[in-house]
Amino acid sequence: MENLKNDLFLRACKKEPIDRTPIWIMRQAGRYLPEYRAVRANSDFKTMVKTPELATEVTLQPVDIIGVDAAIIFSDILVIPEALGMNYEMVESHGPSFDWTISSESDFNKLSKSDLSDKLSYVFEALKLTKKELNGRVPLIGFAGSPWTLLTYMVEGGGSKNFSKIKSLIFNNPTLAHKLLDLISETVSEYLSLKIKSGVNAVQIFDTWGGLLSPDLYKEFSLNYIQKVIAKVERTDEPIISYAKGIHHSMNGLANTGADVISIDWTHNIGKVRRQIGDKVAIQGNLDPTVLYGSIDVIRREAVKVLDSYGKGSGHIFNLGHGILPDISPANTKALVEIVKEESKRYH
């Protein structure tokens, strides 16, 4: 077992006793940091994702600059659709755009399950290099999109306002949707297993679009596949975090997928969620990302509200309820980390 200098994050995931609450920040390797923008000025987003040295560099930045308790590899959830044969571009101030999209059985047949360890070797190399550079300072997190979220991108071809294509698919051809979700789930499981083999200490599954679905359909098309992914991931004791955006109806369902941690958005009262799911899993979250627009006093007040709502004991990983916004000041972000480190002591 690796000797980590700071294993608070992993201990909190397992609800083991700790002396303060760990914190990391979703999208912490990102545009709000001038140091990130400096790297980005010379390379486009996909080049950064595909170049292990660059991915490692920006992954380490928040550890060095902001002082978070975990690193998360800089990468993109859409490398999985790409590995299945769907090329995409990241269009400046617009988002991802796929060359082609899936709408029929014949599109399904165009997908090719290739050897991930070869096709995505740049990810595994970036992980190994990052582990080396981290040198045990903090744990490293790997991640993937949930099958439903990846399918949404593959069918819509990018972002969407009304998500009419993916919704049409599940209403008009649920059999094809399930076939696609099966394929994606298998691929995601294999991908996360390979990440763990490459040295990550935990993995997070991002379900960004589960909130589009009514409770029944969420269970059928998203939750069930998150559960399938988790069941098949090969791991020893690496925790799995399941991030659910806009989900309020299925907290117990999420806590029963086999995930060790559920990660919730800021529209929840974290203490209520804790009481609702009992002691089954740890909880990550859930500060409103826009609190970081406030003064240090506001940040302290709102951060303490979250700590206080969760209450005493282990099992809380402090985080935002969604990714940090690109126009947030690094100074405020650093202040949040320090506030949580200091204020959380009295809850342990």
Please state the closest distance from residue 154 (CB atom) to a second copy, in A: 18
Q: At what angle do helices 147-156 and 224-232 cross, to 10 degrees?
A: 120
The catalytically annotated residue of 27, 288, 293, 308 is 27
Residue 339 lies near a second copy (rule: CB under 8 A): no
Binding mask 241-260 for a second copy (x = CB under 8 A): -----x-xx-----------
Among candidate residues 32, 88, 153, 243, the one labeled active-site is: 153
**Residue 172: which residues within 8 A CB-CB, separation 6 or more?**
none
Q: Which of 229, 261, 291, 337 binds a second copy (CB under 8 A)?
A: 291
- Interface mask (CB under 8 A) for a second copy, residues 201-230, using x and -? ----------x-xxxxx-------------
- 196-216 burial: b if 16+ Cβ within 10 Å, else e: bebbbbbbbbbbbbbbbbeee
Q: Is the peptide bond between 286 and the residue preceding it cis, with omega within 30 degrees of 0? A: yes
Residue 91, beta-bridge partner list? 95
Catalytic residue list contains 243: no
Count of residues engaged in binding a second copy, rule: CB under 8 A: 30
Looking at the Cβ atoms of 42 and 214, the one nearer to a second copy is 214
| Of the residues 6, 117, 121, 269, which one makes contact with a second copy according to CB under 8 A | 269
Considering the rule CB under 8 A, would residue 118 count as an interface residue with a second copy?
Answer: no
> In the annotation, is 19 catalytic?
no
Of 23, 11, 21, 14, give the one whose Cα is nearest residue 62.
23
Q: Does 298 engage in binding with a second copy (CB under 8 A)?
A: yes
CB nearer a second copy, residue 118 or residue 216: 216
Give the burial class of 225: count Cβ atoms within 10 A of its Cβ; 0-12 exposed, 13-18 middle, 19 or more buried: buried
Does the footprint of a second copy cover residue 271 (CB under 8 A)? no
Q: Is 346 a catalytic residue?
A: no
Q: Provide the β-strand partners of residue 144.
A: 205
103 contacts a second copy (rule: CB under 8 A):
no
| Binding letters toward a second copy, positions 318-337, x by CB under 8 A | -------x-x----------
* Residue 178 CB neighbours (<10 A): 15
Which residue's CB is nearer to a second copy, number 95 or number 136? 95
Report the distance separating Cα 289 and Cα 26, nearest Å.
10
Whole-Å CA distances, 209 to 162, 163, 178, 190: 12, 10, 16, 22
Nearest distance from C-beta of residue 187 to a second copy, angstroms = 26
> 43, 112, 168, 329: which one contacts a second copy (CB under 8 A)?
168
Asked if residue 97 lies in contact with residue 158, where contact means CB atoms within 8 angstroms, the answer is yes
CA distance 122 to 126: 6
Q: Give the separation between CA 249 and CA 109, rounded to whole angstroms.
A: 35
Question: Which lies closer to a second copy via its Cβ, residue 80 or residue 254?
Answer: 254
Binding-site ranges for a second copy (CB under 8 A): 162-164, 167-168, 171-172, 211, 213-217, 246, 248-249, 266-269, 288, 290-291, 293-295, 298, 305, 325, 327
Which residues are identified as catalytic?
Answer: 27, 31, 40, 76, 153
